[in-house]
Chain A
């Protein structure tokens, strides 16, 4: 019994890096080049903390037991001041915090200085999903990267402040509207890892999760090639559905009739839309296209004019695919 308790306690203290790269008591797996030094510093601070904590608590308990009030006795006279002692117990912590600070700063400098040949991926955060734009212009909801290659993220937000956080890589950086922020990492182990939003952003904050897929050597390029050509490899309806899901449409438009920020698109094609100014229009290809590129032009009655424009963000081919997908939502074949 005591040995298992002791083993558990030791686990609390012993944050040492596991050999196989799996999680330890305190930390997730170390999958980036900086994770090791971050964990090392964490363990250093942990060790110092445990030592001081035990010192304080043990002394406290010992004093309570040894100097417990006994009837009729009062405290023996002892000095209320001791310069040498006070200087010592001030000086030692000063030295220790300087050490911690220096390692913290050095580690941080490494984490904020990307190597020159980093592979650059653009990141957009919005309520409540991420989109990652690869150098060839392809946009994906997840972050795919090659292993053993530095990757640089250039990030901005469409609306409020978000924060990109990958615990396994030990990186985090706020994603702010109106400016670009940057982060970099080099993944060391293929696999799939969580990417969280770490700055509260409203209703869907805890669902704003993406995946980081680290591809083994040689496989990343293959994946990118295949994924980028989705317009060629998929049918227009499939491609349109992918775009609909990935490019943020489904945040505001349902495809099952339920109301959201924007009108449901179930059966939209060919439907006679009543507009906010009282006129009406048949939702044909032209209207749908206009709604994507100039969403404020003709707004459906009963909805706020809050849709952002996709001018410059969707190519003509992509719009065609989306229109094809929307046409398929005719209510007879159950659209997802």
Chain B
């Protein structure tokens, strides 16, 4: 840049439109915080959906959360908290120009992130095997009895206490009058309605079993829709975070941080902390229901 425009002589790490390195850093920081606010609002919509359904149909959540493994959820929470620690330390390392340490810490954070995703993949595939998917693909069955008519299972109290191989109770599909269980039953054309279709009246499941706490409420499927939507969107953000960390790693190898310009690491770390905090709320709201 010619001196006519930069009489003071510019630090090449500072973009030409900024007065100073501090102005540049402050701008990046404000920008990242504003972006994180948008992320909170993005998830906010799902949290609102959660609140609406939970306040109108608490039984769905009381029933559904039993199929989530609290231990795995707790493990994931610990893993993410550790990863927040490693990435925070990485920021410090970049600040102090400890590039080797920075690289290892980035790798460690990514490892934690992959562990998190691995656990989630495990949880998802277990749900898949049991047919515990979102609304239109909700077809619950115990693992050993893939394909059995769940109406038949519903007639036996034994089934209502049966425990599947992953330690979860089997589902008693008590309501035979629920919408057709075809894979893509998203029809809004209801069967002969005696009341309005859809937001069904409670007590429809009273036909079978005395263990009302194990009785599947008519719209249990909605719990799983919410579960997959919230953890799915979060998972996508974890993937994005891994991508960002890979980029940081590349920058570290390129020597971008040798001069102590740690802003990028700081910004990615901020993002990662928010991803972590969102998970903590998901864990509390989905796994730890009383």
Contacts and interface: CB of A to CB of B under 8 A. Distances in A.
Interface stretch (B61-69, B147-155, B193-201, B271-279): B193-201
B194 A312 contact: yes
Given A177-B197, A178-B198, A160 B188 contact: yes
Nearest to B191: A309
A312 B192 contact: yes
Nearest to B180: A296
A180 B196 contact: yes
Main SS class of interface, A:
loop
Contacts of B192: 309-313
A159 interface: yes
B198 A177 contact: yes
B196 A177 contact: yes
A173 to B, nearest CB: 15
Interface residues of B, number: 11
A169 to B, nearest CB: 25
Contacts of A158: 189-190
A99 B190 CA distance: 46
Interface string B192-230: 101011110000000000000000000000000000000
A179 B188 contact: no
Interface in A15-29: none
Contacts of A160: 188
A156 B196 CA distance: 7
Contact size range, A: 10 to 19
Interface in B122-163: none
Contacts of B191: 309, 311
A306 B184 CA distance: 13
Interface string A281-318: 00000000000000000000000001011111100000
Contacts of A309: 191-192
A306 B188 contact: no
A250 B146 CA distance: 43
Interface string B163-192: 000000000000000000000000111111
A306 B196 contact: no
Nearest to A312: B192
A179 B196 contact: yes
Q: Which of A177, A180, A313 has the most CB of B within 10 A?
A: A177
A177 B199 CA distance: 10
Nearest to A306: B189
A308 B196 CA distance: 14
Contacts of A310: 192
A178 B198 CA distance: 5
Contact of B197 (A178, A306, A311, A313): A178
B182 to A, nearest CB: 10
A145 B192 CA distance: 28
A133 B188 CA distance: 22
A179 B199 contact: yes
A209 B196 CA distance: 23
Nearest to A293: B192
Contact of A159 (B189, B194, B196, B199): B189
Contacts of B199: 178-179
A1 B191 CA distance: 65
A308 B194 contact: no
Contacts of B188: 159-160, 177
Contacts of A311: 191-192
Contacts of A313: 192
B189 A178 contact: no
B66 to A, nearest CB: 27
A80 B199 CA distance: 59
Contacts of A308: 189-190
A178 B196 contact: yes
Interface string B231-254: 000000000000000000000000
Interface of A: 156, 158-160, 177-180, 306, 308-313
Given A311-B192, A312-B192, 7 more contacts: A156-B196, A158-B190, A178-B198, A178-B199, A306-B189, A310-B192, A311-B191
11 contacts: A160-B188, A177-B188, A177-B190, A177-B196, A177-B197, A178-B198, A306-B187, A306-B189, A309-B192, A311-B192, A312-B192
Give the top 3 A-B pairs by smallest Cβ distance, nearest first.
A178-B198, A311-B192, A312-B192
Interface of B: 187-192, 194, 196-199
